[in-house]
Chains A and B, each alone.
Chain A
Amino acid sequence: MNWIETVYNYSYFVGAFGLIMIGLYAVMVKTNLIKILIGINLIDVGVNIFLVSLGYIKGKGAPIFSSAKINPANVIDPIPQALVLTAIVIGLAVTALSLSVIIKLYGHYKTLDISKIREMRW
């Protein structure tokens, strides 16, 4: 059953990049500010899934040495998890800041449509 193994091998990458593509489509095409923000969030989630899935090693367990049987030869790579911790927090910070700007923009212009909020011309 070789094709099942191939599908299993690529499912994480396909899922991660699929999320990135959907998020990029939302950022490029949609005109509602909240939908664009959700698109950016989807891209962040996709990149984090891609980064975590790079550290997996088949058949090994989590890198927490809670019992004497777990030794460095049978755990997975710990670095991508540490990187994703930082990346998630940074994504959260940018989302919080952009939500506050959207709240104030709605208070000023009374609309969330990005094609109507274009005061500055060429």
Chain B
Amino acid sequence: MKKIIATLILLVFTFYVYNTIKGFKFGHDFIGAKTQNKTISKKIEPAGKHYLENNKLENNSANVITSIVVSYRGFDTLGEVTVLFLAATGLGVILTIVRKEDDDEESSEREPSLIVKTAARILFPLIFLFGVYVFIHGHLTPGGGFQGGTIIATAYLMMFLSYSNFKINHTIFKSIESLSGLTFITIGLVGLLGFGMFLKLDLIPMGVFNSLFSAGLIPVVYIIVGFKVGSELTAVVDSYRENW
């Protein structure tokens, strides 16, 4: 009975969606705007076109998406960092760590073999380094703070899976998380108090286009975000592991 009602609702929804989407032109070029479409009037300037053209002058970063995420819409990134912080805190509140004192339960599950342990120990610094590479070069190649932080958390996840008694120091990770968040907001407040604009990001010299030391404070912000996301996701994985 429930299945029939659900299918009927979905069929109505599909029909509604079809009526709307059939007017969408996939892959239509509206940025070059050589051929004017009748539905786009002349006074709309697409925001994407403005960002692409003014990026080199205002931000000097080779990756336009990074400059959108950090500089033009930096407030959304601040909100996203807050969302991750909220989720990690909520998780910590709901899954309070229950220390299992009985150790014979640990030995009943199978220990990973020696090959897995050795390989994990070799791979861990390499994956960590790769994550750091991804978020330092966020303004030159695809990537950035969130992607690099997730790679670092994956490295720690591999160590958790290979060693059954791998422990991390929660206090250090919580401190890194809080300090990174505070530094991000402090950068924004420095812009406010000094120049009257929150999150103004060209306070340090812009540098040469397409090199590592370019784009002002954008790489600094991405490094901070990378550390924050990495430590946060590692703490989340640790909370899951200790409570099951």
- Are A and B in direct contact (Cβ within 8 Å)? yes
B244 and A78 form a contact (CB under 8 A)? no
A56 and B27 in contact (CB under 8 A), knowing A97-B90, A103-B243?
yes
Complex Cα–Cα for A82 and B77 (A): 10
Instruction: Verify A25–B6 contact, CB threshold 8 A.
Output: yes
Q: How far is the CB of B47 from chain A (nearest CB, A)?
A: 6
Alpha-carbon distance A29/B240, docked complex (angstroms):
28
**Chain B residue contacts of A63, Cβ below 8 A:** 52, 63-65
A103 to B86, CA, bound (A): 19
**Interface pair B9/A89, CB less than 8 Å apart:** no
Contact of B91 among A10, A78, A97 (CB under 8 A): A97
CB distance from B229 to the nearest CB of A (A): 8
B196 within 8 Å of A (CB atoms): no
Q: Is the CB of B64 within 8 A of A78?
A: yes
**Given the complex, which residues of B lie within 8 Å of A85, measured CB to CB?**
65, 69, 144, 146
Q: When A79-B68, A93-B84, A103-B244 are in contact, do A64 and B142 touch as well, CB less than 8 Å?
A: yes
- Whether A25 lies near B83 (C-beta < 8 A) is no
Number of interface residues of B (CB under 8 A): 59
Considering the complex, give the chain A residue whose CB is closest to the CB of B90: A97
Across-interface contacts of A65 in B (CB, < 8 A):
56, 62-64, 209-210
Which residues of the other chain, B, contact A96 by a CB distance below 8 angstroms? 87-88, 91, 236
CA distance A53 to B123 in the complex (A): 35
Chain B contacts to A: CB under 8 angstroms = 2-3, 6-7, 9-10, 13-14, 17, 21, 24-32, 46-49, 51-53, 56, 62-65, 68-69, 73, 76-77, 79-80, 83-84, 86-88, 90-91, 94-95, 140-142, 144, 146, 209-210, 236, 239-240, 243-244
Extra 19 A-B pairs, beta carbons < 8 Å, given A29-B6, A60-B29: A10-B26, A21-B14, A28-B2, A54-B24, A63-B63, A65-B209, A65-B210, A66-B62, A66-B140, A72-B52, A77-B30, A78-B68, A79-B48, A82-B65, A85-B69, A89-B80, A96-B236, A100-B94, A103-B95
